[in-house]
Amino acid sequence: MRLLALSGSLRARSSNGAVLRSALALHDGPATTADIGALPHFNPDLDGENATPPPPVAALRTAAAAADAILIVSPEYAHGVPGVLKNALDWLVSSGECVDKPTAVITASPFPTGGDHANAQLRETLRTMSADVIASACVEIPAIGPKVDPTTERITDEATLAGLRTALSHLTAEPAPAPAPAEA
Ligand SMILES: Cc1cc2nc3c(=O)[nH]c(=O)nc-3n(C[C@H](O)[C@H](O)[C@H](O)COP(=O)(O)O)c2cc1C
């Protein structure tokens, strides 16, 4: 299973970046992290069938098309989704790479709420994009600060790592085969 990971934080020492790296270290397979900070602001004039997408947009779409599943890790800003992440998702609406793709949303916050507003908003946006949002792979991580080792910038909290392991196993699980048709 090839994963595409997107982080909603551009901060160099991002705690969500630590979550993303820790999650990918638990993943048994190839993974790519998209550089969404390089994307231009979404503009419908640059989108659609007759438009040539700017190179960073084309790169994001190629990476999304090549992925079997998408992992989104993000902070919450002012009870919302960071603009840089919403911008990246807007570039993927009409091109359709997220349609039916298993997708997980993880939010991490220094507060007890775990970024619950941003998590819910991201899931709503992704469902609107027809992504296959795997509810059991979506996680809100509260009080993230002490759960990150400042030297390795990885998660050290065992319960959080266990939650990430479960989320990844649900995200990357093969879909159950369709039941055989009943005999007439
Ligand atoms: C402009 C701004 C708004 C924020 N608003 C929220 C918020 O609504 N809810 C929340 O849980 N944290 C909020 N925070 C705190 C972030 O969760 C915190 O800075 C977090 O460490 C950012 O994630 P990062 O470490 O991955 O960069 C806000 C931070 C900033 C800079």
The amino acid that residue 50 corresponds to is N
CB-ligand 1 contact for 77 (6 Å cutoff): yes
Q: Compute, in angstroms, the gap from residue 21 CA to the centroid of ligand 1.
A: 19
**How many structural domains does the chain have?**
1
- Within a domain: residue 179? no
The answer as to whether 182 is a domain residue is: no
pLDDT tens column, 19-34:
999 999 999 999 999 9
Q: Per the domain annotation, does 64 fall within a domain?
A: yes
pLDDT at 139 (0 to 100): 98
Per-residue confidence band for 184, with pLDDT thresholds at 50, 70 and 90: low
Q: What secondary structure does DSSP assign to 66-84, as a single string?
A: H-SEEEEEE--BTTB--HH
In a domain, 47, yes or no: yes
Contacts of 150 (CB under 8 A, 6+ apart): none
Report yes or no on 21 lying in a domain: yes
Atom 2 of ligand 1: nearest residue by CA position: 77
Element (H, E) at 154: strand 154-155
* Residue having the nearest C-alpha atom to atom 29 of ligand 1: 77
Could you tell me the distance, in angstroms and rounded to a whole number, from the CA of residue 147 to the centre of ligand 1? 16
- Using CA atoms, how far apart are residues 35 and 127, in angstroms rounded to an integer? 23
CA 68/CA 38 separation, integer angstroms: 23
**Closest to 140 (Cα-Cα) out of 111, 165, 169, 168:** 111
What the block records as the tokens of 12 is 């160099």
Instruction: Quote the domain boundaries for residue 162.
Output: 3-171
Q: Does residue 184 fall inside a structural domain?
A: no
Beta bridge partners of 6: 72
Whether the predicted model's global pTM rises above the 0.85 cut: yes
pLDDT at 69 over 80: yes
- Domain with residue 114: its CATH number is 3.40.50.360
**Is residue 67 a part of any domain in this protein?**
yes
What is the reported pLDDT for 99? 98
Asked whether residue 178 is assigned to any structural domain, the reply reads: no
Residue with the bigger pLDDT between 176 and 110: it is 110
Residue 49 confidence (pLDDT): 82
pLDDT at 182: 81
Q: Is the CB of 127 under 6 A from ligand 1?
A: no
Average pLDDT value for residue range 66-88: 98
Percentages (nearest 5) of helix, strand, coil residues in the chain? 40, 15, 45
User: What is the number of the ligand 1 atom nearest to the C-alpha of 11?
Assistant: 27
Average pLDDT score over residue span 60-79: 98
**Rounded Cα distance, 47 and 45, in Å:** 6
* Percent residues over pLDDT 90 in the chain: 92
